[in-house]
């Protein structure tokens, strides 16, 4: 059964995202929330990490956390889906388990 | 203390003002550091010290333009940076390397200006783009560095 991973720390400050990607399995979803949303930006020092995983893992990002930080959707890596809080709940129910990479 | 006095180390002369640098290295909202830094900056500025701010690492995200926190139920403190000029805080050093590592340019930051009282109160930019080596020099010139 697939897993939903949440990452809430900036990838420039913590290795939570890297560890998450190293442990995620094919068919899993990674939801970026809070300071984790910075990982969704294209053209950064960590963009390549997400890009390499995009075939096996789906990426979502919480829209409210993007807006709070002034990040426009046009600056996201292609293929990342923006969800609202309802979408967050849907993701939890669609996946068997949820793992938070704090 | 007594030994230092004996060895001839004279106490530093009292200065009217000290140079304070606030070093901001955290993104806003995910932690409380950015907001706390702003609060303390305003206190120091009220005591008429020479205050400047440095933004490096994830701290550069604090100045992103277009921040809208309605969806996360937190106070949006981004506009406060634009008020710093009125408190005599006119230098916001932003590290170039930190911007580029995050895919940002100065165009992604909000405009912050101050009115220059020595130049007919003309509006001048507060944000100073500076490279890492130059920022290290700025740090070395300070009397007090406070880290957030």
Q: How many domains does chain A have?
A: 1
Tell me the pLDDT tens digit for each residue of A11-25: 999 999 999 999 999
Q: Are B51 and B89 in contact (CB under 8 A)?
A: yes
Tell me the domain boundaries of chain B: 18-147
Tell me the pLDDT tens digit for each residue of A42-66: 999 999 999 999 999 999 999 999 9
How close is the nearest chain A Cα to the Cα of B124, in Å? 24
Nearest neighbour of B27 by CB, restricted to A10, A44, A64: A10
Candidates 3.40.630.30, 3.40.50.300, 3.40.1260.10, 3.30.360.10; CATH matching B18-147: 3.40.1260.10
- A72–B67 CB contact, under 8 Å: no
Whether the model clears a pTM of 0.90, i.e. scores above it, the answer is no
pLDDT at residue number B1:
44
What is the rounded average pLDDT for all residues in chain B? 91
Domain containing residue A80: CATH number: 3.40.1260.10
Residue B34 has pLDDT above 50, yes or no: yes
Q: Is residue B57 less than 8 Å (CB to CB) from chain A?
A: yes
Q: Return the sign of the alpha-carbon dihedral for residues B23, B19, B97, B134.
A: negative
pLDDT at residue number B14:
60
What is the rounded average pLDDT for all residues in chain A? 96
Q: Is residue B93 less than 8 Å (CB to CB) from chain A?
A: no
Helix (H) or strand (E) holding A90: helix A85-94
The interface pTM score, or ipTM, of the predicted complex is 0.85
* CB contacts < 8 A (A, B): 70
Task: Count other C-beta atoms under 10 Å from residue B59's C-beta.
Answer: 24
Q: Is residue B66 less than 8 Å (CB to CB) from chain A?
A: yes
**Could you tell me the residue range of the domain that residue A32 belongs to?**
3-101
Residue B33 has pLDDT above 70, yes or no: yes
Residue A75 has pLDDT above 90, yes or no: yes
């Amino acid at each position: 059964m697939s897993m939903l991973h949440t990452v809430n720390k900036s990838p420039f400050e913590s290795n939570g995202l890297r560890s998450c990607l190293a442990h995620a399995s094919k068919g899993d979803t990674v939801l970026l929330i809070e300071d984790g949303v910075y990982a969704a930006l294209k053209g950064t020092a960590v963009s390549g990490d997400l890009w390499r995983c995009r075939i096996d893992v789906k990426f979502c990002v919480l829209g409210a956390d993007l807006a709070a930080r002034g990040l426009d959707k046009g600056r996201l890596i292609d293929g990342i889906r923006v969800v609202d809080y309802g979408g967050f709940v849907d993701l939890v129910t669609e996946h068997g388990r949820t793992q938070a990479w704090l | 203390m007594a030994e230092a006095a004996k060895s001839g180390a004279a106490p530093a002369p009292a200065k009217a003002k000290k140079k304070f640098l606030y070093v901001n290295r955290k993104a806003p909202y995910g932690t409380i550091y950015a907001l706390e830094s702003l609060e303390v900056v305003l206190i120091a500025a009220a005591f008429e010290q020479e205050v400047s701010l440095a933004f490096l690492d994830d701290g550069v995200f604090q100045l992103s333009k277009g921040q809208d926190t309605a969806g996360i139920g937190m106070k949006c403190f981004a506009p406060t940076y634009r008020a710093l000029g009125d408190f005599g805080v006119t230098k916001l050093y932003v590290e170039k390397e930190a911007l580029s590592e995050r895919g940002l340019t100065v165009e992604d930051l909000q405009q912050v200006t101050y009115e220059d009282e020595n130049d007919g109160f003309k509006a001048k930019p507060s944000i100073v783009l500076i490279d890492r080596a130059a920022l290290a020099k700025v740090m070395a010139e300070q009397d007090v560095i406070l880290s957030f």
